Chain A
Amino acid sequence: MHPLSRRKAMQTVGLAALAPALGAVAAPHAMAAVPVPGALPRGVAWHNWSGCSGGQAASLQTPADVAAVQQLLRSSSGPVRCVGAGHSFSALVPTEGSIVSLDRLAGLIGHDKVAATATFHAGTRLAQLSRQLDQVGLALRNLPDIDAQSFAGAISTATHGTGANLPALHDDVQSLQWVRPNGELLECSKTRQADMFAALKVSLGSLGILTQATSTVLPAYNLKRKVWLKPVEELLQMTPELARQHRHFEFYYLPFTGYAAAITHDLHAGSDVLRPDSADEEMLRDLRHLRDWLGRFPDLRRWVAQKLIDPAQTELAQDRSWKLLSTQRPTKFNESECHVPRELGVDCVREVIRTLELRNDVFFPMEFRFVKGDDAWLSPFYQQDSCSIAVHAAAGEAYDYLVSDIAPVFRKFNGRPHWGKLHGHTAADLPALYPRWKDFLQVRAELDPTGRMLNPHLRSLFGIPARA
């Protein structure tokens, strides 16, 4: 979720005024890893960022360079799964074999300002990449709202930001270097093995291990941000126009308040920095307190929230693009997200809100974003401009309803799931949603006939039986 949106909402809403009366900060829950049935009795314990996915792996490998990645794959035949920052909520990582981290394959390798490209190690986290690009006067075109992810992990799951005319990160990739499951080092690009490239860009770590990427970049740029609150129905009426008018537009609906926090980012020619203090965490706490104290009385909860909200306030910020678009997330959560055809986005989000508010325990803001279509075979945005709708639940609280209750709504609106987030889609659903699904499975089978890059979650998604 966007940090500033929550923060903005908080400050703008004026809910902060309630905070002192409602008690002090509650510490985020630290969740234990979920054991994997049949996991090895010994090995390395691993769990994802939120704690909803995890298990025991035989080992955690951190190869130092490309040769070490090749050696790792050549010298063994067991299952291998890569991990980035562990920010995926779906069970993409857990394996009884080796987990491979590309932490040591990190950093900018080079850049070409004339060609507007930069080449970097695939394990580079987005935060470090943004800093290093900035130091040479460059920037990524767009960013997701969390920047802890490794670049390889981000593109492999089709991680995205917001912007009606801005595609997900993987669409800016010009070429990739990767090690296929047998240890062979390969490269492909938009012009060299184009089909392989279209399959590889979003491949959930199932085709091998990405080691290097070259991406389109822009000259470093500044953004100005505006955040304001609107009754959600009024904002929904304005949403298509706001998405057209602004480089980035998104909103967060604040459950059981009737209000949404709208956020725009646009290019800013000046270099003056304006950074109000973040109040995201305070806003979340206040929404949680409203839920805790008035959750049984949704009408009263909504009425109190509306009395506390001051829609006249707005918040402005100006800074480097990467400092405004992304941040860290102190409060952990679980999340489900789906991408629906753009023309269905507003209708879908109305139904998501209605469904969410059937549960009085919901308090986490719901996020609505825009993403431009692309050509990666497993991209949820494949040949489809989309609206992304994300629902969240605080870590440590029930989250199964994010799928059981909301997935039917996403399904009704032809939504394609975010691969890294919780979803209810199965192997039976996916071929109809992804026109190149079978082509991808064929490439996967050719590159990895034994399925060593798969784990139970991927086998289930791809409809491939478990190893004997």
Chain B
Amino acid sequence: MRKIEAVIWTFVSRWVPLISLVFGMVSLGGCQKSPEVPGPDALRWAESARPRSALLAQKYERSCQSCHSSRASTAPLVAFAPDWQARLQQGMPALVNHARDGFKGMPARGYCNDCSDQELEALIAFMSTPLTQE
């Protein structure tokens, strides 16, 4: 049995990464999860931050906050620049399209059925603005 185990471990540790690469299972830049981890201050800010506009703040609280203030959701964290850099490079129109039509974990309309494209853009701008620029 030990021989079989050794063979399996050899397979897992040595060959799987190579085969994964060959078959495209390794994400080559497609994964946008930031390697940087937000600290306690960033998490506190994400929980407490609100858009300045009262109407936008209302929409943010009921539609966006739950996912974008939580690390567990894997959504980009409010004001945490490392989570937003690669996304912002796609351009705001692409991000608005993702919010409106749904993309990966983002539900279509972002749980905000009454948000216009302009409001989605304003919400994205708020969430992606680094803490230092607020």
Contact = CB atoms under 8 A, between A and B. Distances in A.
A112 B111 CA distance: 29
Interface string A78-107: 000001011000000000000001011011
Interface residues of A, number: 48
B17 to A, nearest CB: 6
Given A30-B102, A304-B8, A328-B72, A21 B17 contact: yes
A125 B113 CA distance: 13
Interface string A266-296: 0000000000011011000000000011000
A115 interface: no
Contact of A293 (B16, B66, B75, B108): B16
Classify chain B: how many residues form its interface, as a range.
35 or more
Interface in B6-64: 8, 12-13, 16-17, 20-21, 25-27, 30-31, 33, 58, 61-63
B73 A328 contact: yes
Contacts of B73: 327-328, 330
Contacts of A265: none
A86 B109 CA distance: 11
Interface string B61-82: 1110111001111110000000
A394 interface: no
B62 A124 contact: yes
A25 interface: yes
Contacts of A432: none
Contacts of A25: 27, 31, 33
Interface string A22-39: 111111101000000000
Given A27-B104, A304-B8, A103 B114 contact: yes
B17 A23 contact: yes
A148 interface: yes
Contact of B66 (A23, A125, A280): A125
A345 interface: no
Contacts of A182: none
A47 B108 CA distance: 8
Contacts of B134: none
B58 to A, nearest CB: 8
A147 interface: yes
Interface of A: 3, 7, 18, 20-28, 30, 46-47, 49, 60, 62, 83, 85-86, 101, 103-104, 106-107, 124-125, 127-128, 131, 147-148, 277-278, 280-281, 292-293, 300, 304, 307, 327-332
30 contacts: A18-B12, A21-B13, A23-B21, A23-B25, A24-B26, A24-B27, A27-B30, A46-B108, A47-B102, A60-B113, A62-B113, A62-B114, A101-B113, A103-B62, A103-B63, A103-B111, A103-B113, A107-B58, A125-B111, A127-B65, A127-B66, A147-B66, A148-B66, A278-B72, A280-B72, A281-B74, A307-B5, A328-B66, A330-B74, A330-B75
